[in-house]
Structure 1
Amino acid sequence: MSLVAEERSAVVLSQEDFEELARHAIRTNEALRMEFIGGKMRVKAVPDGDHGRIIEWLSRLCIQADSGWWLYPDQGLRVESYRNGNARPDGALARSGTFVGQGEWASTDGVLMVAEVTSRDRDTNQCDRVEKPRAYAESEIPVFLLIDRETCEVKVHSQPDGVRYEQVVTVPFGKTVALPEPVGIELDTEPLKDWAS
């Protein structure tokens, strides 16, 4: 491939361009879930049944802990240092009503925790394990919960310093792990063994 052809294949998007493209894509195909992190556009895999069951399980636990909370599935968030990224976490834990009036891409203000459940796609390692922890830490979201079905582990990221999470606790499925404040609940991960496929 020539240098000219390589330059033509690179697409540079602004955040505004991405948001317009994402709006159009969703209008034409509701199954598309797009994100813009680290200057790269990604299309998230459509969740499978086990993925959905994990989010259901986590939602119930969060609501049992505090009836004023809601785990918003796929809520678009503006992330990264200058809010120049767009993420759709599998769940964003916040008080009920936090995102009212904010539109498709909301501020991370008031978000207590974001949760991601890995999918079986080629971008999982780079996106869920590298880029999103950085983006969420830069946004100072207090807790990032990664449920990794490939490694059968749960990773709890906490204490964001504006660049990275200073604390990362990893446990295998079946162990109990603490989701630190402001979430403050114990998570028994035993049920995840049934949904790791």
Structure 2
Amino acid sequence: MSVVEERSSVLTQDEFEELARHAIRTNEALWLEFVDGKMGIKAVPDGDHGRIIEWLSRLCIQADTNWWLYPDQGLRAEMYRKGNARPGGSLAPSGTFVGQGEWASADGVLMVVEVTSGDADTDQRDRVEKPRAYAESGLPVYLLIDRDACEVKVHSQPDGVRYELVSTVPFGKSVVLPDPVGIELDTEPLKDWVH
């Protein structure tokens, strides 16, 4: 991570994309994001994170066989600032990202999903910066599966600045993912996949 450590915290879009290419070429275990004009480094997902995405994928496909929960698809996630986010999952109709590169348009995305990783930046990144960036982009639903707090937060009704509705339930209770998703989640299984 020496290249990352040598960089300032303010980067241009081109500098960010070059860093991301470097990380891939050198096989370093980090994920880069560029949210709110700042570079972020996020931990590579663990096995429980993958299991949560698998569980959620199955539920989404059962609700609509044309949907797919794309894990880790990079999105251009801000309307008035250049930015890139890599949600844990992006629920969209099958084929939505065909022909797009690593950082795809968020058009057509029904819901973005984040699963907390427990790294030092989780609070700022997943609970503050990403809800704002996703709301600014008009993403209809942001689902945060917070393994640290053992709760699920459902953000909906973006107004271009923030989400107007946020529902929070502890693991073990059911929660409805509002339209355009429109499914109910029983969060009981999440108790088995916390840190």
The alignment status of 1:84 with 2:93, answered yes or no, reads no
Cα–Cα, structure 1 residues 183 and 9, in superposed 2: closer, same or farther, change >3 Å?
closer
The alignment status of 1:125 with 2:123, answered yes or no, reads yes
Give the equivalent residue in structure 2 for 1:55: 53
In 1, Cα distance between equivalents of 2:119 and 2:79: 27
Could you say what the CA RMSD is over the residues aligned between the two structures, in angstroms?
1.4
Displacement of 1:151 in angstroms is 0.5
Corresponding letter in the other structure for 2:51: R
Give the equivalent residue in structure 1 for 2:30: 32
Say if 1:80 and 1:135, in contact at 8 Å, map to a contact too: yes
Corresponding letter in the other structure for 2:165: Q
Displacement of 1:42 in angstroms is 1.2
TM-score norm. by structure 1 comes to 0.93
Out of 73-82 and 181-190, give the one that drifted further. Answer: 73-82
In 2, Cα distance between equivalents of 1:83 and 1:12: 13
Displacement of 1:21 in angstroms is 1.8
Give the equivalent residue in structure 1 for 2:97: 99
In 2, Cα distance between equivalents of 1:67 and 1:154: 24
Give the equivalent residue in structure 2 for 1:196: 194
- For residues 167-178 of structure 1, the aligned pairs below 5 Å read 167-178=165-176
Which aligned runs of 4 or more in structure 1 are off by greater than 2 angstroms? 8-12
Displacement of 1:124 in angstroms is 0.4
Give per-residue Cα distances to partners, 1:33-85, cap 9 Å, x unaligned.
11011111111101111111111100110111111000001100001122511
Say if 2:111 and 2:141, in contact at 8 Å, map to a contact too: yes
Cα–Cα, structure 1 residues 113 and 9, in superposed 2: closer, same or farther, change >3 Å?
closer
Give the equivalent residue in structure 2 for 1:146: 144
In 2, Cα distance between equivalents of 1:10 and 1:28: 20
Unpaired runs of 5+ residues, structure 2, are 1-5
The alignment status of 1:187 with 2:185, answered yes or no, reads yes
Displacement of 1:9 in angstroms is 7.1
Number of residue equivalences? 190
Unpaired runs of 5+ residues, structure 1, are 1-7
